[in-house]
Amino acid sequence: MSHADSPVAARVRRLEERAIAAGLTSDQELDATLGRFMRDASPTNGARLVARAWTDPAFRERLLADGNAAAAEVRLGTSGSVPMSYRLKVVENTARVHNVIVCTLCSCYPVSLLGPSPSWYKSHAYRARVVREPREVLAEFGLTLPDEVEIAVWDSSSEVRYMVLPRRPDGTEGLAEDALAALVTREGLIGTAVL
């Protein structure tokens, strides 16, 4: 089944057609809006938040307490800010806890901070299995964690989206924020990788 044939894509297109027919927008306006949004939607945004948290303990505390307010403090995307119509909850990996995010009902995901979601994130297999057998799923991604490390699975929704704050790698104490941000991957922000 192609994307255009999926039930969700068909529902979205019907909604777009109704909005256009009602004179609320046009195809060109929708394309322009999506283009602006996707231009600024990148895992680089989440990586910038992580790098700032690694170098600024007070920012780290604010990010963990109120992700939206902390994200507003950091220049993200080409415009300096990215739209977030959801509550951002940042969960921190520690020596004892590794976090991974999922949306079991659909594929809610903080696009503005992590970029377009990978196809596996939207797959039924990932959404169903990571909750039941997270250690096995992470191993399939090449991430084997010690038995004593607890795995916490966070289920996103339309109201709340999660982002993982990975552990800072050893030996990076002298690196500037830009160099630290370059170490962070989208998979690290989801929790299917260490970075």
Active site residues: 103, 106-108
CB 91 within 8 A of CB 162: yes
Question: What is the secondary structure of 47-90 as a DSSP string?
Answer: HHHHHHHHH-HHHHHHHHH-HHHHHTTS-BTTTB-----SEEEE
Dist CA 42 CA 55 (whole Å): 21
Dist CA 74 CA 52 (whole Å): 8
**Residue whose entry in the numeric block shows the structure tokens 């977030």:** 84
CB 81 within 8 A of CB 17: no
Strands 97-102 and 150-155: parallel
Nearest C-alpha neighbor of 68 from the set 90, 85, 88, 52: 88
